[in-house]
Structure 1
Amino acid sequence: MVVAKNLVDKQLIKTIKTEKVHTQVYEQLRAILLEGHWRAGEKIPSETELCRLMGVSRISVRTALNSLIAQGFLIPRQGEGTFVVDVSVDMNMNMLVPIIGLDKGSILEVLEFRKILEVGIVPLVFQNLSGEDVKWLLQNVEELEGTAEEEIARITELDLGFHRKLCEISGNSLVIKVNKILNELFRTSMENVVIALGNQTGRKYHRRIVDVIAAGDREGTVEILREHIQNTIDNIIKIQQDTDLPERLR
């Protein structure tokens, strides 16, 4: 009896709550979508049919469907029904990454994340590297070197493309997907870096990275890639102290 009383006193035993029906409907339909049983573009059963199949009320089904529509899993078409948008990881993970304005901390956090990711995949890059990959990277560097300083958008795309290519060469599907999911975040961060630092840093380090990759120097690649991103981080920290800079770069 003492043990039972202690459990009650500590509130370790709590009242069991019945889960709402529409939540159960939502979870079941979401699982069907994520598991790929309903494909992109496919029309799902009507509300009436779902009510019959699941043995629940129309309001429960409608509430669950509205949640899935709001999250981008489904789209209603007037007079036609409700259709699957795209339940692939690449598309729907984007909803989990709200792209908000970058502040002082978040620009640096993106760079820190890139340093961890890109330095970490170097062994995989060398494991899967081909002559065509080296040729692509070299061409990218040459285009960057030939781009005028004022061409911010072009510099951003070339710089972003160089780092994206390293992720693709790794051959790791999760690394590639994460890079795609965060693409717009990386792009915004990269553009801010280019505005602040120009393309001299990219020119210098990308050329060095390609040279050591072409030479088969894995350790050298790790060292220079880490130095490249850390150098950018250090420079951003310095310029953030300049009160004459736009707020997004400070």
Structure 2
Amino acid sequence: MEDGRTSDKVLNKIQEKILNGEWKSGEKIMSETKLAEELNVSRVSVREAIEKLAAFNIVSKKKGGGTFVNDLGPSVYLNSLLPMLILDRDSYMEILEFRLIMEPEAAKLCTERCDDKLIEELQITYENMLKYKNDIKKFTEEDLNFHTKIAEGTNNSLIIKVNELLSNVLECHQRGLYENLGPEGGVHEHKFILDSIRNRDSELAFIYARRHAVRTINDLKRLKK
């Protein structure tokens, strides 16, 4: 009897055919029946694999029309990180260290590339953070939304995707940090970052984003003592 691991093997095989160019963007892949025969598995396992690929936006299913390969931008190649990031919730410090590297550069790029509309959205998000200072769950959501807006402002699909993946893991950790230490540090630092972006001072945006990441790391170390 087949299990979930069979489905994952099928998924990896299909993904390999797509990523090595055997099945190109916009092309219809072979039917579930033929795939099952070629891979010597059941149609159920093939169907499960295709559903997962559709969830990762690698393929699209058209009712009555088969399955087609999507246009694969750079961000799609990071989708395989998603299960690992969702399952590995003990790597908060490592994620924060990664943010220390990524987010200052993202803030700098955002300052140089974003339009005025995005700055307005950042302002609204910051105002929401102020409004929800006493509601840590909502405050955390707005905090992560603030960083999502900065990622979007870079116009870089990889930065946007990495931010999306990390946000899925960070929410519960960030909320716990704010519950223990309060939101004041985050409020002030986000204001500095926002003002730097609004003034189109990319170097200052870099500095304040880095200080924010460093402070978060130091707070976590303090809590662990």
Report the TM-score, using the length of structure 1 for normalisation: 0.65
Counterparts in 2 of 1:64 and 1:135: CA distance versus 1, 3 Å: same
Distance 1:138 1:74 in 2: 35
* Corresponding residue for residue 209 of structure 1: 193
144, 162, 181: which one pairs with 1:197? 181
18, 38, 53: which one pairs with 1:73? 53
112, 122, 145: which one pairs with 2:107? 122
**Aligned-pair CA distance for 1:30:** 3.2
Query: What's the CA shift string for 1:16-56, capped at 9, x where partnerless?
Result: xxxxxxxx99876433445565879x884243x458xxxxx
Query: What's the CA shift string for 1:110-163, capped at 9, x where partnerless?
Result: 2111121111223321221222122111121112112242x1210111000011
**Aligned-pair CA distance for 1:109:** 1.4
Structure 1 segments, 4+ long, off by >6 Å, are 24-27, 85-88
- 1:93-242 map, 5 Å: 93-102=81-90, 106-149=91-134, 151-241=135-225
**Is the contact made by 1:68 and 1:74 (CA closer than 8 Å) also made in structure 2?**
no
1:62 correspondence with 2:47:
no
Structure 1 counterpart SS, 2:132:
coil
**Aligned-pair CA distance for 1:210:** 1.2
Counterparts in 2 of 1:234 and 1:37: CA distance versus 1, 3 Å: same
Counterparts in 2 of 1:30 and 1:148: CA distance versus 1, 3 Å: closer
Counterparts in 2 of 1:161 and 1:197: CA distance versus 1, 3 Å: same
| Structure 1 residue ranges without an equivalent (≥5) | 1-23, 52-57, 242-250
Structure 1 counterpart SS, 2:89:
coil
Counterparts in 2 of 1:25 and 1:156: CA distance versus 1, 3 Å: closer
Distance 1:28 1:70 in 2: 10
Distance 1:109 1:29 in 2: 31
Q: Which has the higher helix share?
A: 2
Distance 1:125 1:199 in 2: 24
| Structure 2 residue ranges without an equivalent (≥5) | 1-8, 56-62
Q: How many pairs align?
A: 201
Structure 1 counterpart SS, 2:40:
helix
Q: Which structure is larger by alpha-carbon Rg, 1 or 2?
A: 1
Distance 2:47 2:16 in 1: 11
1:45 correspondence with 2:31:
yes
Distance 2:15 2:212 in 1: 42
Distance 1:164 1:46 in 2: 37
Counterparts in 2 of 1:191 and 1:86: CA distance versus 1, 3 Å: farther
Letter in 2 for 1:164: T
Greater CA deviation, 189-198 or 173-182?
A: 189-198
**Aligned-pair CA distance for 1:59:** 8.0
Structure 2 counterpart SS, 1:196:
helix
Distance 2:24 2:69 in 1: 12
CA RMSD of aligned residues (A): 3.7
Structure 2 counterpart SS, 1:193:
helix
Counterparts in 2 of 1:95 and 1:33: CA distance versus 1, 3 Å: farther
